[in-house]
Chain A
Amino acid sequence: MSDEKKDHKKEDFEPKIVGFLCNWCSYAGADLAGTSRIQYPPNVRIIRVMCSGSVDSMYILRALLEGADGVFVGGCHPGDCHYIDGNYKARRRMVLLENILGTLGLEKERVWLRWISASEGQKFADTMREMTESIRKLGPNPIAKHWNV
C-alpha cells in the first residue's frame, strides 16, 4: 500500500484483518457463513490453523508489525476444544500478549480473540462486521508507517 493510500480519510479506509481460525470450530463457522450466503465484510484474510492454542503470539506480532490493521483469533467455545484445552491455553496466551502490548503502549484493541462454533455462521459474520467497523474507527495501524521495526 502506498503512502498516498494510507493517508486517506478514516471513513473510506478499508482495514486489513488477519484471521487465525481453528480448523474444528471457527473455520467451519466461517465456512457455514459462506455456504449459507451470509454477507460479511471481505476485510478479513483467513488463515486456517489446527487449534487456537497453536497460535503463537509471534504470528500475531508479525502480522501487526507488518502493518495488518487487526488480528483475529477464533477458537472453539470453552469446554469444546477438539484438543481438550487448546482454547484455554490460547486465552492465557492472549492475556499475556495484551498485557505486554499494554505495557508498551501498543494498541491491544487491534487483537481479538472470540469463540465461534461450527454452527455459528451468523455469529462469525456478525463478529467480522463488528471487528471491521471497530478497526475502521481506530484507523490504520500506525506501525504500518514505520519501516524501522
Chain B
Amino acid sequence: MIKKVLKVKDNDVISSTNEFLKHLLASGKIQALLVPQSTPSKKVVYPVLITDQRKLHTDIFAPVLPVATATVISKITKVQPPSKPIGVVLRACQIRALIELVKLNQASLTNIVIIGVDCPGTFPINIYAEFPEKKTPTQFLLETMLKKSNDADQYLRSACKVCKDPVPTNADIVLGLFGADIEKELIIEAHSEIGKELLKDMTLEDEKEGKAREKAVKDTREEKDKKRAVFLKEKEGAKGIEKVAEFFDKCVNCHNCRQACPICYCKECLFDSAVFDAEAYKFVRRAENKGLFKLPSDALLFQLGRMNHMILSCVECGLCEQACPNAIPLMEVFIPAAENAQKEFTYHPGKDKTEKVPMIVYREDEFLEVGEK
C-alpha cells in the first residue's frame, strides 16, 4: 500500500478533491470517471459518468445516496466491460454491493478502478434536499467531523447509524477522511497496482504521521460496532407472527424496496410475473381458506421471499428503507436477519470477490443434523 497526502487549498476540501480527480482524468490513464455530482438545484446528487474534466464539479462527500451506485455500475459493465479503465467513486456499502454483483455475474470489475471514499454517513434524500441547517449538508457533515461532535447523527439514515463498516475495502484508491485534518489535507491510499500507477504522476506529498489514520479508522469502526450491537439487542424483540404481520402492515406491495436494492438484480422478479395471476375461482378459494382475503395479496410473502433470496448478500445500505413510501423501518428486521443468516454461513458479503455466494456451493459434511432425525 502507498499512502500519500493531498494538500487542501484554502480550507476547501471539496474543490481540492475536484482538482485531484480532474488531474486523474486528464492523465489519460482512465477514460472516464463515475462521480456523484449535484443537480443544478443542488437538491440531490446523482452518479454521472464524466469524460470532460471541465464538466467535473463533484461533491464526493455529499451525504446522500439516492440510488444504488453499484446497480449503476452493473448497468455500465454487464453487457460488455470497458476496454479502457473507468474510475468509479464509491462509498464502502456500495463497494460491498458491487463485489456481490460481480459474484452474481451482474457486473464486471474489468477495467473498473474503484475509488473508495470514507463515509461518515448519509441523510435521507428529503432531509438532504431541504436541509434545515444554514450550511450545505456536506459542509455541515465535514464540520461536525472536524469538531468531533455528533450533531449530524440526528439526520443520518438508520442504516448509516449502525453501518457495519464505513471504511472502504477492496478499493484501488481510498480517499480518507478519517484521521485527516480535513481543513489542511486528505489521506490518499493506493491499494493495488493500478491504484499505485494512477497516483504516480499526481502532485501528492508523502504522509508524515503514519498512525493517525489507523487509529481513526479503528476508532470509527469500534464506535459503529458498539452502536450496531446495541441496535441488534434492541431489535431482538419483534418476534412472532403477530408482530411480524404488524410490522409489514403498511406494505402496499409496491416493490420499491426491491427496485432500490442493489442485490435484487432479477430482470423479472417472481412477484411481478404471471405466477400470481389466477382465475377468479382461485381467489375465492383462497378467501374461503381463511374466510376473507386481503388484496393486493402476498405482501408478506413478498417481504419474506425477497429476504430469503437476498439476505446473505445484504450489504445493509438501507436503500430499501429509503425507498419505502410508507416509512416502514425495514432495517429493524433486515439487519438482524442479515446478521444471523450471514453468521450461519460464515459469509461476509463484499469482502472477497473470489468467494462464492453461499447458495451455489455446498460441502458434503456440513449441516449434518438438517435432514436427519
Contact = CB atoms under 8 A, between A and B. Distances in A.
Interface stretch (B178-186, B235-243, B321-329): B235-243
Contacts of B301: 58, 61-62, 65, 149
Nearest to A78: B364
Contacts of B311: 96, 100
Interface in A103-117: 103-106, 113-115
Nearest to A114: B371
A104 B333 contact: yes
Contact of B370 (A3, A61, A95, A145): A95
A149 B241 contact: yes
Contacts of A2: 291
A89 B362 contact: yes
A143 to B, nearest CB: 5
Interface residues of A, number: 43
A17 B299 CA distance: 23
Contact of B270 (A58, A97, A106): A58
A19 B360 CA distance: 24
Given A61-B305, A96-B312, A103 B340 contact: yes
Contacts of A143: 241
A146 B290 CA distance: 8
Given A106-B241, A149-B241, A91 B249 contact: no
A57 B132 CA distance: 45
A144 B242 CA distance: 11
B286 interface: yes
A106 B239 CA distance: 7
B244 interface: yes
B372 A115 contact: yes
Contacts of B240: 104-106, 142
Given A89-B359, A147-B290, A147-B291, A94 B245 contact: no
B371 A104 contact: no
Nearest to A1: B289
Interface in B11-40: none
Contact of A88 (B242, B244, B291, B364): B364
B344 A99 contact: yes
A93 B357 CA distance: 12
B30 to A, nearest CB: 40
A93 B358 CA distance: 9
- Tell me whether chain A's interface is mostly helix, strand or loop, or mixed: helix
A138 B235 CA distance: 26
Nearest to B237: A105
B127 interface: no
A102 B340 contact: yes
A53 to B, nearest CB: 10
Contacts of B299: 149
Nearest to A77: B371
Interface in A76-93: 78-79, 85, 87-89, 91-93
Given A57-B305, A65-B300, A115-B371, 14 more contacts: A3-B291, A57-B309, A61-B301, A87-B371, A91-B367, A96-B344, A100-B308, A103-B337, A104-B333, A105-B238, A105-B239, A146-B245, A147-B293, A149-B245
Closest 5 A/B residue pairs (Cβ)? A105-B239, A88-B362, A57-B308, A149-B300, A58-B305
Interface of B: 238-245, 249, 270, 286, 289-294, 298-301, 304-305, 307-309, 311-312, 333, 336-337, 340-341, 344-345, 358-360, 362-364, 366-367, 370-373
7 contacts: A67-B290, A78-B364, A92-B345, A94-B371, A106-B244, A114-B372, A114-B373
Interface of A: 1-3, 57-58, 61-62, 65-67, 75, 78-79, 85, 87-89, 91-100, 102-106, 113-115, 142-149
